[in-house]
Chain A
């Protein structure tokens, strides 16, 4: 079945540590996205990529980095510069243009 796989489901980060969240899709979608979700707030866009080897900052890119070396993969690194990383992270994709988005099951990141 086609879809988006996010791993791990739960992730714990120590202060000052970088961690990487995985996002893989087998939908053959060109565009991929990373969102952050905090309780009581709408989803906020971190980074997006519309084509391999290219990506753009979203509304809250500070403290995060991404890469898009393969069409099916769009990993997100949460760096030590992100001061409040505890949140639920969602990866999404769409074919391009005005097509609907498909979401993964999310990764919950907690700072310990």
Chain B
């Protein structure tokens, strides 16, 4: 059974730092991996989608990588800003096209 883990559960860094959020999964048979952002009391906003045949995707200051062989994905945020403060969720799509979710990393960027 696929399990997705996100470490750390919470992270607080000063503004301007580059940071990495981690997502690991136990079964490499995934169709894709998607990163989302969730602000308090809000829905999920899709950040990046990496298909299983891809190694990385970039959008602005965000870069997500995927290594299926090691069961890992990372979300890199460059030059962090207070507006980046949110909970970041990763989800792996399994062989039934269902998303398996991590519990999220709560990120706080201090001004």
What residues make up the interface of A, taking CB atoms closer than 8 Å to B?
6, 31, 40-45, 48, 88, 90, 92, 96-98, 100-106, 108
B residues adjacent to A (C-beta < 8 A): 4, 31-32, 34, 36, 41-46, 49, 51-52, 89, 91, 93, 97-99, 101-104
Question: Which 4 A-B pairs give the minimum distances between C-beta atoms?
Answer: A42-B101, A98-B31, A105-B43, A103-B44
- Contact A98-B97, Cβ < 8 Å, known A42-B104, A108-B41: yes
A98 with B32: CB separation less than 8 A: yes
Do residues A97 and B43 form an inter-chain contact, with CB atoms below 8 A?
A: no
Which residues of chain A have C-beta atoms less than 8 A from B98's C-beta? 45, 48
CB distance from B84 to the nearest CB of A (A): 19
Cross-chain contact B102 with A103 (CB below 8 angstroms): no
Name the CB-closest residue of B to A6. Answer: B43
Does B42 lie within 8 Å of A106, measured CB to CB?
Answer: yes
Q: A42, A45, A96, A106: which contacts B43 (Cβ < 8 A)?
A: A106
Contacts of A105 in B (CB 8 A): 42-43
CA distance A13 to B32 in the complex (A): 37
Q: Apart from A100-B49, A106-B43, what 12 extra A-B contacts exist at CB < 8 Å?
A: A31-B97, A42-B101, A43-B99, A88-B41, A90-B43, A97-B31, A98-B31, A100-B32, A100-B34, A101-B99, A103-B43, A103-B44
Do the beta carbons of B36 and A103 come within 8 Å of each other? yes
Report yes or no: A42 in contact with B4, Cβ–Cβ below 8 A: yes
Q: Which residues of B contact A31 (CB under 8 A)?
A: 97
Q: Is A90 within 8 A of B44, CB to CB?
A: yes
**24 contacting pairs across A/B (C-beta < 8 A):** A6-B43, A41-B103, A42-B4, A42-B101, A42-B104, A43-B89, A45-B98, A45-B99, A90-B43, A90-B44, A97-B97, A98-B93, A98-B97, A100-B46, A100-B49, A102-B46, A103-B36, A103-B43, A103-B46, A105-B42, A106-B41, A106-B42, A106-B43, A108-B41
Complex-state Cα separation, A102 to B49, whole angstroms: 11
Q: Is A101 a contact of B46 with CB atoms below 8 Å? A: yes
Residues of B within 8 A of A42 (CB): 4, 89, 101-104
